[in-house]
Amino acid sequence: MPSPSQQINLGPSSDPSAKPSDFHFLKVIGKGSFGKVLLARHRTDDQFYAVKVLQKKAILKKKEEKHIMSERNVLLKNVKHPFLVGLHYSFQTADKLYFVLDYINGGELFYHLQRERCFLEPRARFYAAEIASALGYLHSLNIVYRDLKPENILLDSQGHIILTDFGLCKENIEPNGTTSTFCGTPEYLAPEVLHKQPYDRTVDWWCLGAVLYEMLYGLPPFYSRNTAEMYDNILNKPLQLKPNISNSARHLLEGLLQKDRTKRLGCADDFVEIKNHVFFSPINWDDLNAKKITPPFNPNVTGPNDLRHFDPEFTDEPVPSSIGCSPDSALVTASIKEASEAFVGFSYAPEMDSYL
């Protein structure tokens, strides 16, 4: 991938080399609020990609265009990190936006947790370390992730963590900066977000604590089927830790799931505090970031067409025929024209010489 300095921001459709018909869309592999993620093969270079296709109409209806542009900006900054999904290019048609991303087929962490209920501590430690490394990198770019959950954590074909879905990221948050948008996923919301108070990057460390707890115990820390009760638990119930984990894991969870963000692990020195915690003492962080540590679980995929780790609920669904074609210009309505103006600057392609 090119370095950020080589990247150029192209206006809509100014990359003539990218259009839906360049891809052979093979399978639906995921779904979100604004569209679908599809496995696609590029017709020219035969490479496999995950293509996230979003409906502009749905985004505008929910006034989410800022989040989508933010997701694109964050993806462009991810080129350097081993545990963040990479963007190859983005383009748009009159009614849809397309993100062409790394294809990761080891399955969602959520899928593996559901199948195995919980993980042994060494495996949970390995995943937590790779996730923490990715979050620390985002924080170093003044980006708060805000939506860490097992569904947004993928395993690659070797079993390494890949963080995906940057739609809720908040850019330009300085080390002591705060933001106040209420967003996230109910089970993983930090108390300060629920209180609608300003919050900072430590919100990501709370979420890391919630995901680590779930990996070790099988459910998020304050879980209840009743959302109101769960919110009350997050705000008021003391953290309860069953005795089947090590003292260092217990100490880390207590530090990350500290309800007062000013006392939470990571509040003073961010990732450095997490990295230096005794729970992570078996981890050599240089080796981790160089992917020199053998993952504790190998998804054993045979190749790009091996979809065993994707939910059949997605893969059994037919690929919509509209995905791979541009709308007929005669059908471009006023609302579609308005949509194209909302996403100026979305399209991106690396400079061609960066591939030479």
Which residues, in sequence order, are bridge partners of residue 97?
54, 92
C-alpha–C-alpha distance, residues 60 and 63, integer Å: 5
Neighbours of 97 (CB within 10 A): 26
Q: Which residue has the tokens 């900072």?
A: 200
Nearest alpha-carbon partner for 221 in 264, 254, 182, 248: 254
Using an 8 Å Cβ cutoff, are 278 and 251 in contact? yes
Question: Which letter, b or e, does each residue of 246-275 get, where b requires 16 or more Cβ atoms within 10 Å of its Cβ?
Answer: eebbbebbebbbbbebeebbbbeebbeebb
C-alpha–C-alpha distance, residues 60 and 78, integer Å: 26
**Helical spans, DSSP H, in 117-176:** 121-140
C-alpha–C-alpha distance, residues 177 and 337, integer Å: 37
Nearest alpha-carbon partner for 170 in 162, 182, 179: 179
61 labeled part of a ligand binding site: yes
Using an 8 Å Cβ cutoff, are 341 and 9 in contact? no
Residue 336 has, within 13 A of its CA and on its CB side, a CA count of: 14
Respond yes or no: is residue 147 known to be catalytic.
Answer: yes
Written as six digits, the tokens of 279 are 């729970």
Using an 8 Å Cβ cutoff, are 50 and 37 in contact? yes
Residue of 147, 165, 204, 270 marked active site? 147
Torsion of CA 127, 128, 133, 136, to 10 degrees: 150
C-alpha–C-alpha distance, residues 276 and 279, integer Å: 8
Which residues, in sequence order, are bridge partners of residue 87?
101
Which residues, in sequence order, are bridge partners of residue 153?
163
Show binding-site residues: 61
Task: Please give the positions annotated as active site.
Answer: 147
Show binding-site residues for ATP: 61
